[in-house]
Chain A
Amino acid sequence: MIYLDNGATTFPKPAGVINSVGNTLRNYGANPGRGGHRLAMKASELLYDARKNVADFFGVEDSSNVIFTLNCTTSLNMVIKGILKKGDHVIISSYEHNAALRPLEKLKEKGITYSVAEVFEKDNEKTLASFREQIRPNTRLLVCTYASNVFGIKVPVERICALCHQYGILTCVDAAQAAGIVPIDLSDSSIDYLCIAGHKGLYGPMGTGALIVNCDTIPDTFIEGGTGSNSASSEQPEILPDRFESGTGNLSGVVGMSNGVNFVRSRGQLNLYNREMQLIQRAYKALSKLDKVILYTEYPDMDYYVPVLSFNIKDMDSETVSQILSSRFNIATRAGLHCAPLAHTTKGTLDIGTVRVVPSAFTTLNDINSLISAVCNIK
């Protein structure tokens, strides 16, 4: 099979990730941060090492600010529901995923409003102006994707976050499609809350993610419960990461995610990014020559895009095209709306969706050539 659905989750996983998950389950299967026996302490060390590794990867000095979560969606919900109060206003981009949109829609019931700032492809000045226009006296939070999970368009989040800070607005970035692909350094950043998925560009197992807190404003708790610390108190601990990590976590998954980070480091993050962009550019160039193919972005370069490409075949439903690619050519792509109706509304594809192609470190030029050949042959 040629797997080009890496935007949903990367596959295959690196051997180091698989081995580390197995090794943890086999040899270190105690509950970290609970008991004091040798195996529990070893498990705690593994969790701590993973936390330090992820912190270091994103330029975070204090690893306590790395909170392990189930996925990027959970991280976004923790910020959105932990920060906002009645009367607050939020700005989002026109490419947000349902992970941001749905929690905000839910919070309308509590008197919280949001508005959408348009993103202008390859025009950061216009995009910045668009976000500036949406700022209101009661704007409390920016929630913005680093890059569209459908069209690969990068949003100039650092500049937008810096703008928001001028107005005292907190900033939350959804880096699901960027973490592990685009270098992100929080040591010199206006991003207050970085939400990441472990199972995409970081090559970890599914069911892993993190919220990285990069400011002094700590969200209210999302859930409360046992943390293994300060247990005599009925109140949730204030200290990070315990405040947000109630209940037994996914130790083997987190260790796998940390080994995924090591994999990205070993390959060179910029090398991976560059290589995957070349694959997407190859697909773009070839598909753009086919009259029957519709593409939705300008030519994707590293300044403005991450390696994500959406297309359609004229007069064909995206699901049908993806199904043919799977059944006839054994090529895995993702069709439909990619949980991002706002992005599809922006591009006018809400009714038909698109076929999405996302390579990974394991995708070859032959894979992309096979995709191009398959699309040529679809009638």
Chain B
Amino acid sequence: MDNLVQLSSVTQAMRARDLLKSNGINSAVQRITASRGQGPCAYGLKIFNRFDEAISILREHNIHVIGRARGEIR
């Protein structure tokens, strides 16, 4: 399964990316299909390593992770 999470906006996704990068975790912002029931129009973060730790870091810094994304738009 892709390590792809949905954030609340593109700004938050970029904040999350920068935060993870400062902790040595690589990720990339991309347009995604939103979590179930939330329709299209969402941005997410594809996390390339240390996924569980990344989620903890984001939560520690009050960056709201809406959920796992349903799928990547390719």
Contacts and interface: CB of A to CB of B under 8 A. Distances in A.
Contacts of A189: none
A241 interface: yes
Contacts of A230: 8-9, 38, 41-42
B41 A232 contact: yes
A25 B43 CA distance: 24
A63 B15 CA distance: 8
Contact of B73 (A36, A231, A241): A36
B38 A36 contact: no
> Most B CB atoms within 10 A — which of A36, A62, A63, A231?
A36
A208 interface: no
Contacts of A239: 8-9, 12, 64
B25 interface: no
Nearest to B38: A232
Interface string B1-19: 0000000111110110000
Nearest to A240: B11
Contact of B11 (A36, A41, A232, A241): A241
Interface residues of A, number: 23
Interface stretch (A43-51, A316-324, A330-338): A43-51
Interface in A30-56: 32-33, 35-36, 41, 44-45, 47-48, 51
A41 B10 CA distance: 9
Contact of A242 (B11, B14, B31, B40): B11
Contacts of B31: 35-36, 41
Interface in B25-70: 29-31, 34, 38-43, 64
Interface string A7-49: 0000000000000000000000000110110000100110110
A33 B9 contact: yes
